[in-house]
Amino acid sequence: MHISAELRQLFARAKRVLVLTGAGVSAESGVPTFRGGGNTAVWKGMRFDVISSAEMVERDLPAVWEWFDYRRDFLNELTPNPAHFEIARWQERFAELTLVTQNIDGLHQQAGSREVIELHGNIWRARCTACGATYSMVQQQRPDACLECGEPLRPDVVLFGEMLPPGAFELAAARASVCELCFVVGTSALVYPAAGLPEIAKAAGAYVVEVNPERTALSSLCDEVLTGKAGEVLPLFQ
């Protein structure tokens, strides 16, 4: 794996760095990625963007819970990998490290990353469908209904057709527009508005680096493409 001298120099002196991650950063932890999930059935004959949609919460909330309960139980056995730990180390290295993730698995936080901007929510939280009260499901069951207002709870994740958490994208976009170095790690960059962040960084003059074993919709926009697994490539920056 060759990392250019230009990137090594930039990495050595950069102050403001933004990292955007997707399912690929958790692949080496055993978390299945989505690709191929888009058009094929992922759950009980349903496509991913059908079972994980706002419309499904309206139509069949118990089915949505079954899907996320299954994934949460699966995640329970999994731990962060070297990619998560390397990114966590970067928050000590750079004056301003912004970590933005599309992942709902919480593995960045488990690896020690703080202030993670979770664009699509977190699978370990439940949220009231009426008053918005949230409930942790880390080592505890969720209540059957909201303890504040008695209304049903839903997974605190952003489903297709739903707005991102208030301010999350705006903060990420603001950081992208002033960063010097932008790493895009393990994402197919097909889901918006998340996939728009590297474009914002690029337009603002940042050096954009992709880390992915495959080319993506974003590769042509990047200044440098590091073709490989995140858990093997990121530790090369130590």
What's the chain's Rg over C-alpha atoms? 18
* Of the residues 1, 138, 149, 203, which one makes contact with Zn ion according to CB under 5 A: 149
Q: How far apart are CA 18 and CA 16, in angstroms?
A: 7
* Of the residues 72, 120, 127, 175, which one makes contact with ligand BV8 according to CB under 6 A: 120
Under the criterion CB under 6 A, does residue 161 sit at the interface with ligand BV8? yes
Provide the H-helix boundaries in the chain: 5-13, 48-51, 54-76, 82-93, 107-110, 168-176, 197-203, 230-233
Q: How far apart are CA 220 and CA 216, in angstroms?
A: 8
CB-wise, 23 or 128, nearer to Zn ion?
128
* Of the residues 22, 80, 106, 198, which one makes contact with ligand BV8 according to CB under 6 A: 22
Q: How far apart are CA 189 and CA 46, in angstroms?
A: 22
Under the criterion CB under 6 A, does residue 75 sit at the interface with ligand BV8? no
Binding partner of residue 158 among Zn ion, ligand BV8, none, CB under 5 to 8 Å per kind? ligand BV8
Please indicate whether residue 120 is annotated as part of the active site.
yes
For the segment 153-172, give every residue that binds Zn ion (CB under 5 A).
none
| Among 2, 84, 108, 120, the one annotated catalytic | 120
Please identify every residue annotated as catalytic.
120
